[in-house]
Structure 1
Amino acid sequence: MQSFKNYTGTMYGGLGQLLYVYAQAKNLEISEKLYKIQNLERFEFHIWRELLDEINEQVDHPALGLDIAQYVQPKHLGIIAYIAQSCDTLGEALTRYYDLHRLIYDGGPLKVDIQGKSLSIRWEVLPIHLTSQITDEIALALLVQFLRLYLNFDDIQLEKINFIQPAPKNTRIYQDFFHAPIKFSQSRVELILPQQVLNASCKNPDSTLQQLLVQQAKDLLNNLPTTTQLDERLQQNILKGLQKNNYQIENIAEQLHMSVRQLQRYLQQQNTTYQERVQEVRLLLATQYLLDPHLSLHEIAILLSYSEQSAFQRAFKLWSGLTPRQWRQAQTKKCK
C-alpha cells in the first residue's frame, strides 16, 4: 500500500502559519519542521499530516481539528479568502473557487452538487488511507468557521455533516461545533446545507479588502486634484471588480449609475483615464499582496485579474522599477 509520504499533493503555506499560531496559543513545543514552513508558499501534504500528528501528541483534545479551526484568519487561507470576501454571495464565491481550487490544495478538489433542496460540498480524490479523522474534521471545520466569521452565515442551519472515520467516544463536541446532525462511517466527507445558502451575502464591512481600501486608499485619493465621494465609490468598485475579474468600464459605470461617456468625461476633467485608475488600484493591491509571503506571484496575478503572470510582472516593473520578486525581497530585508 502506498505510504502517505509518497503522495504528491501540496498545501497552501498559510495553513502552516495557522498551526504555528495554534501551537503558540496552546504553549506547545514548536518543532523545527513547523518553523521551517512558516515562509513557504506551499508545502507537501505528508508534512501537513506529520505536523497535525505532532500537535495531536501534545494536546489532549478529542476533536483537535475543530479546536485548530477556531484560530483561522483570512491570511491563513490566502487567495480564496481574498476572493470570497470580495464576492457578493456564497454562490459567487464557490463558482470562483472552481477555477482556483488547485492553488489552495491540489490533491482534493472541492465537489459541489445540488441534491433536491440541499447543497452537498465535499472533497474527493485523496486516497482513503492518506486521511485521518483530524485531516477530515479540520477541512470541514475551516470551511464552516470561515463562513461564520466572514459571511452572513449565522442564521443558516447546516443540515448534516458526514465523516468516513468511525465515531469517536465523544460525538457531542462535533454537534456543538457544527450545530448539525453528525454521521460517522459514511462513504465520504461531506457538508450538506440548504440550497438557499447560495444566496447568503458576504459581510462586506468586515472584509479585509474593504479595510485595506479605507486604510490605504486615502493617500492615493489625496493625490487627485479633487477627491469626491464618487472617487471613493469608483475605487471601491474597481477593487471589487478586480477580485471578480469583472472590472470593465461598462460594468463599473453601471454600478455607479452613470453612462460610460459620463464616467470618461468625469475622469478627463481630472486629467486621468479609467485605465490609469485601474492601474493605480492594481499597484495598491499588489504591494499589499506581496507582503504576504504565502501568496505566489501567480496567485497575485490572478487576484489582480491579469491573464498571465508575465503581464503582472511587466506592469509592476513599470510602476516601481523593480520586479515583484525584487520588491518583495527588499521589503523582507527591511523587516529584518
Structure 2
Amino acid sequence: MGDGRRRLMASVAVSYVQSVLDYVGQAGGNPDAVLDAAGVSPDALANSAGRIEAGLFARLFDVAAEQLDTPDLGLAVGSAIRPGHYGVLGYVVMSCETLGEALTRHLRYQRLVADIGEAQLLGLPDGQLRLMWVTSKPPTRQLAEHNLAGWVSYARWITGQALSPTRVLLPHCAPADRRAHDALFACPISFDAGMTALEFPGAYLGLRMTQADPGLREQMDRYARRLLTEYAQSRGAAGQLRHWLRRHLTAGDAQLATAAAALEVAPRTLQRRLAGEGWTFNRLVDDTRRQLALELFTEPGMTGAELAFMLGFSDQTAFNRAFRRWFDMTPGEARNQPERLLASRG
C-alpha cells in the first residue's frame, strides 16, 4: 500500500451499460439474469448518473453474449446505440452543425461515458483520418467491436447518410464467421491489427447533421462542461472518499482509519491528499452528510429518526443539532418551509 497513489478503477456510465441490457431484453433474453451472472447489483444501476467498474461492464457483455448465443453481440449492441445511451454526450453530438464539430465534442467529453480508454484522432498521409480507441491493454472482443460499431452507427444516424469507413482495425483474431462484420462496416477489416480503430475520408468532417440545433448545443455544452468538472473532482481523494461515505454512513463507521483502509492508503496519506484539495476528513464527512440530508429530506414519508440513521448519527438529537447548524432551521421548520430549505443548496 505505502504512499503510492491508488490506481483508479476505470468505469462506465450507467446509461452506457443500459445499451447492453436494452438489447438483451429486445432479443428475448433476461436482463436480470445477465446482471446476476455478471455480478452486477441492480442497485448499482439505480442511479442514472452513476457508474460501474469497467471490469464488470466487460463481464456483462461476455455473459450476455453467452446467454443469447450471439458471438457478435458487441456489433449488435453498438448498432442499436442511441443518444440516451451516451447520456449528455449523445445530445451534445447530435445537436452539432457538422460531423467534425460532433467529433470534437466526442473527444472532449468522452470520459462522461467511459474511461476504459481514450479516443484519439490522427491524420494519415493519404488524406484519411484514423479514429483510434487507445486502451492500457487490448480490450475484449465484445468491447472493441461495440465501440467501433457504436461510432459508425451513430455517425450514420446523426448524418442521415449510409457512411462507411475505408478500413476497420481490430486487435483480436478474425472470427470463424465474419459476415456480421462485413455487413455492418461495409469496408475492408484488418484483424490482429494491434489496435482498435477505423479510418475514414477527411471530407466526412464537413458533413451536415440532420438535427443541428445551436441553442441546444450551447445548453448541452454548458451542462457537459459542468459534468466533466465534477467527474474530474470525483477522481481526487475527496471525491473517492465522498463516494465511499455515501455508501457507508449508515453503518456508523465514518472513521479515518476505516475509510483509509477502504481506499487502500495510509490514514496520514489520505489526510494529506484531502488537505491538498482543501478538505479535512471531518469537514468532508460533515459536508457529505449535509448534501445527503438535502437529497433525502424531500423523500415522502422519511422521518427524522430514519434520516438520523441513514446519515450515521448516534441519535435523532445529534441529527437535529447538525441540521440546525447546516440550514439555520429545525427539521420541522424545513418541512413547513421547503422553499427555504431548497435555497440552502450549494
TM-score tier by shorter-chain length is 0.5 to 0.7
Pair 1:196–1:88, CA change in 2 (3 A): same
1:121 aligns with 2:131: yes
Q: Distance in 1 between matches of 2:97 and 2:295?
A: 31
User: Partner amino acid for 2:92?
Assistant: I
Select which of 199, 203, 208 maps to 2:206: 199
CA contact under 8 A between 1:90 and 1:202: conserved in structure 2? yes
Question: What is the match of residue 96 of structure 1?
Answer: 105
CA contact under 8 A between 2:152 and 2:164: conserved in structure 1? no
Pair 1:332–1:90, CA change in 2 (3 A): farther
Q: Distance in 2 between matches of 1:98 and 1:331?
A: 38
CA contact under 8 A between 2:65 and 2:72: conserved in structure 1? no
Q: Distance in 1 between matches of 2:80 and 2:164?
A: 22
Question: What is the match of residue 218 of structure 2?
Answer: 241
Q: 1:107 deviation in Å? A: 2.8
How many residue pairs are counted as aligned between the two chains? 228
Q: 1:57 deviation in Å? A: 1.5
SS at match of 1:241: helix
Pair 1:76–1:114, CA change in 2 (3 A): same
* 1:92-121 deviations in Å (ceiling 9; x for gaps): 122223322222222311110111310100
Question: What is the match of residue 146 of structure 1?
Answer: 154
User: Partner amino acid for 2:16?
Assistant: L
User: Partner amino acid for 2:55?
Assistant: H
Q: 1:23 deviation in Å? A: 1.8
Matching of residues 1-336 of structure 1 within 5 Å: 8-29=9-30, 30=32, 31-32=35-36, 33=40, 35-40=42-47, 41-115=50-124, 116-128=126-138, 131-154=139-162, 156-204=163-211, 237-244=214-221, 298=227
Please list every run of 5 or more consecutive structure 1 residues that lacks an aligned counterpart in the other structure: 1-5, 211-236, 246-285, 287-294, 303-322
Larger radius of gyration: 2
Q: Distance in 2 between matches of 1:332 and 1:200?
A: 47
Q: Distance in 2 between matches of 1:135 and 1:238?
A: 34
CA contact under 8 A between 1:153 and 1:200: conserved in structure 2? no
Q: Distance in 2 between matches of 1:331 and 1:8?
A: 33
Q: 1:181 deviation in Å? A: 1.1
Please list every run of 5 or more consecutive structure 2 residues that lacks an aligned counterpart in the other structure: 1-6, 232-289, 301-346
The TM-score, its normalising length taken from structure 2, stands at: 0.58
Q: 1:163 deviation in Å? A: 0.6
SS at match of 2:45: coil
CA contact under 8 A between 1:109 and 1:123: conserved in structure 2? yes
The TM-score, its normalising length taken from structure 1, stands at: 0.60
User: Partner amino acid for 2:144?
Assistant: D
Q: CA RMSD in A?
A: 3.2
Q: Distance in 2 between matches of 1:103 and 1:19?
A: 17
User: Partner amino acid for 1:171?
Assistant: R
Over the matched positions of the two proteins, sequence identity in percent amounts to 22
Pair 1:199–1:49, CA change in 2 (3 A): same
Q: Which runs of 4+ in 1 moved over 6 A?
A: 323-333
User: Partner amino acid for 1:94?
Assistant: L
Pair 1:330–1:150, CA change in 2 (3 A): farther
* 1:111-170 deviations in Å (ceiling 9; x for gaps): 101113101001113312xx211111001011111111122332x332011111011101
